[in-house]
Amino acid sequence: MLATKYKKEIDRILEKYPPEEKRAAVLPLLYLAQKEYGCVTEAAVREVADLLDLDPTQVGGLIGFYTLLHGKPEGKIRIQICTDLSCALRGAEEFAEKICENLGIKLGETTEDGMITVEGVKCLACCDKAPMFQVQDAEGIHYYENQTVESAMEIIEALRKGDRNA
């Protein structure tokens, strides 16, 4: 249960907003749910709704709207490559294609071991350091800039082995 396991963290989050406006805490709580369960499960939606006195639909509706919230488990590690205009001008589409090729998947798919999902995403405000990607996992989100296919594959393999400092 989020309410017991993360009590301190939840209190710290709720403190930021006026007591009568605690709905504002829904995104931070959904991140906690994602950390705990790997994705925002239906049960997690109800837990968060209970914590904030909301209807589950008010919480569940957010999942499809915000790209960093995930309703399905997919890969433990999400490699989110920016393939938007500025990055594409500097080779990001070919970069993404090669990463996928190396992993034996297509963009949007997950490796057979359930570890890695590769996604093409919109601008990450890092256009001058393309190709680049961010990694989203249970712990958070981290940027990797000025990448080559080789350097990216090294990072992905290290992450696969659980080395988050790669």
Partner 1 sequence: MPEHILLRHRDIPDIDQLDVYLEHDGFKAFESVVRETNPEEVIETVKASGLRGRGGAGFPTGVKWGFLTPGVFPRYVVANADESEPGTFKDREILERNPYQFLEGVAICAYAAQANVAYVYCRGEFWDLAHELERKIEALYDRGLLGEDLFGSDYHLRIYVHIGAGAYICGEETALLESLEGKLGQPRLRPPFPAAKGLFGKPTVVNNVETLTNLPPIINRGAEWYRSIGTERSTGPKVFCLSGHVERPGNYELPLGTTFRELIFEHGGGIRGGKKIKGILPAGASAPLLPATDEVLDTPMDYESVPKVGSQLGSASVIVLDESVDIAWMAYKTASFFKHESCGKCTPCREGTYWMYQILKRIPEGRFRNTDIDLLNSVAHGMQGKCLCALGEFSIMPVISAIEHFRPDFEAHTGDER
Residues of the shown chain interacting with partner 1 in the complex, contacts defined by CB under 8 A: 16, 18, 21, 23-28, 30-31, 52, 54, 58, 61-62, 65-69, 84-86, 88-90, 122-130, 134, 140-143
Q: Which is nearer to partner 1, 82 or 156 (CB)?
A: 82
Q: Which is nearer to partner 1, 33 or 152 (CB)?
A: 33
Rounded distance between C-alpha atoms, residue 102 and residue 97, angstroms: 9
Rounded distance between C-alpha atoms, residue 115 and residue 123, angstroms: 24
Q: Which is nearer to partner 1, 48 or 104 (CB)?
A: 48
Rounded distance between C-alpha atoms, residue 90 and residue 150, angstroms: 16
Smallest distance, partner 1 to C-beta of residue 23, A: 4
Rounded distance between C-alpha atoms, residue 27 and residue 48, angstroms: 10
Q: Which is nearer to partner 1, 25 or 96 (CB)?
A: 25
Q: Which is nearer to partner 1, 113 or 139 (CB)?
A: 139
Smallest distance, partner 1 to C-beta of residue 113, A: 25
DSSP one-letter string for 71-101: SS---SEEEEEE-SHHHHHTTHHHHHHHHHH
Q: Which of 47, 2, 48 is nearest to 25 (CA)?
A: 48
Smallest distance, partner 1 to C-beta of residue 111, A: 23
Smallest distance, partner 1 to C-beta of residue 43, A: 19
74, 80 contact by CB (below 8 A)? no
Smallest distance, partner 1 to C-beta of residue 125, A: 4
Residues in a beta bridge with 133: 81, 144
- Please report where in the chains the tokens 């995930």 appear, as a residue: 70
